Amino acid sequence: MNTSITKKNANPIQLNRSVALAALFVVQIAVTSWLVPGYFDVGGLLDATRSFSEAGLVALGMTLIIITGGIDLSVGALMALVSVTIGFSYQAGLPLWLASTAGVGVGVLGGLFNGLFITYFRLHPLVVTLGTFALFRGIAFAVSDANAVSGFPDWFSVFGQTIVGSFPLQFLVLCAFVVLFWVLLSKSQFGRYVYAVGHNDIASRFAGIPTNAVIIAVYTLTGFLVGIAGLIYTSRIASARGNAGLGLELTVIAMVVLGGTKITGGSGTIAGTVMGILILSYLQDGLTFAGVRGDWGLIFIGIFLILGVFANEFFRERSR
C-alpha cells in the first residue's frame, strides 16, 4: 500500500503541475516587474524573504497535517502565544535565552495538545483547532493585557535581522527546513506513513501503521515550526505582542493548497508547497509595492485559495 501511494505522488501529473506553478511564478514576477519598475531586483527579492519565512516554516508543517487529512486553524494564535511567552517571561526576569527556549517549547506543547485531543478523543481536527485557535489567542491577550514588550538586548536581533552574505538568516533557516522536510516526507518510512494515513486511515490501522502516533507527530512538528517562526517574528519586529500571527492560518493553508496538496488528504509534496510559498508571498509583496491596500491582498489570497482547489481537481481528473 505504501509503495503505491508513493508512486501516485511522484507521477507525471504532479510533475506537470509543478511545471505549471513554476511558469505561473515566472509570469507573476515578470508582470509585477512591468507594473512596478525596479521590482525585479535581486536584493529586493531577497529582502522580501524576511517577511514570508515565518509563514513558509509553518506551511511545511501544515503540508504534513493536510496530507494526513487534517487541518490546523490554530497556528496564528499559537504564534502569538509563543511571542507573548518570550516577551513576558523576559519581562518577568527570566534570562532571554531561557525565555526564547520556553517560547519554542510552548509551540511544541500547543501542537502536541492538538494532536492528543484529535487522536485520543476522536475529534475532528477542524473542531479541535478552531477551539485552540480561540484558546491560544485568548491566553496570549490575557497574559499581555493587549500590551507589547520591547527593549530586548541587541543579540536577540540575530534571529530576525541578521544578513549572512546577501541572504537574511531566516531565509536560510527556511531553506534548511525545506530540505529536512523534503527528506522526511519523500525518503523516510515516516513520510510513507503520513501518505498512508491520509490515503486511508482505516486500512493503515489494519496494516499495522501507528496512525495515532503519526498524527500526533505531525501536529507536534508543526507546533515546533510555529515556535521557531514565533521566535524569528519576535526578533524581527523587536516586540512581543498578542496580535502576532493574525490571519496566518489562512495564508499558510492557501500556500499548501496552491502547491498541490489535496485538502482531503493523501497527496502533496514539499516542492509544491515551496512553489505555493513563493507565488503567494511575492504576490502579496508585489501588491504592497504597487500600493494596493492590505484588504485587497486578503481578497487575492482567497482567490488563489479557490483557484488552487480547482487546479488540484483539474490535475487529479487528468490522472484518472
**Residue count (the chain):** 320
Q: Flag whether 107 is in a domain.
A: yes
Closest alpha carbon to 277 in 39, 111, 68, 49: 49
Alpha-carbon span 186 to 64, nearest angstrom = 11
User: And the C-alpha cell for 80?
Assistant: 502569538
Which CA distances in Å does 223 have to 62, 113, 115, 226?
Answer: 10, 9, 10, 5
- Spatial contact of 49 and 277, defined as CB atoms under 8 Å apart: no
Q: Flag whether 60 is in a domain.
A: yes
Q: Flag whether 32 is in a domain.
A: no
Q: How many domains does the chain have?
A: 1
SS3 9: coil
Q: Is the pLDDT of residue 49 over 80?
A: yes
The pTM assigned to this predicted structure is 0.90
| pLDDT tens figures, 152-188 | 999 999 999 999 988 999 999 999 999 999 999 999 9
Helix, strand and coil content of the chain, in percent to the nearest 5, comes to: 75, 0, 20
Q: Flag whether 226 is in a domain.
A: yes
- Spatial contact of 110 and 78, defined as CB atoms under 8 Å apart: yes
Boundaries of domain holding 174: 50-246
Q: Flag whether 164 is in a domain.
A: yes
Per the rule left: phi > 0, alpha: psi between -120 and 50, beta: everything else, 167 is: beta
Q: CA triplet 301, 304, 308: central angle to 5 degrees?
A: 140
Alpha-carbon span 114 to 215, nearest angstrom = 10
Q: Who wins on pLDDT, 222 or 35? A: 222
The helix (run of H) or strand (run of E) holding residue 168 is strand 167-168
Q: Flag whether 187 is in a domain.
A: yes
Q: Flag whether 221 is in a domain.
A: yes
pLDDT of residue 313: 67
Q: Flag whether 225 is in a domain.
A: yes
pLDDT of residue 9: 45
| pLDDT tens figures, 236-245 | 999 999 999 9
Alpha-carbon span 234 to 83, nearest angstrom = 6
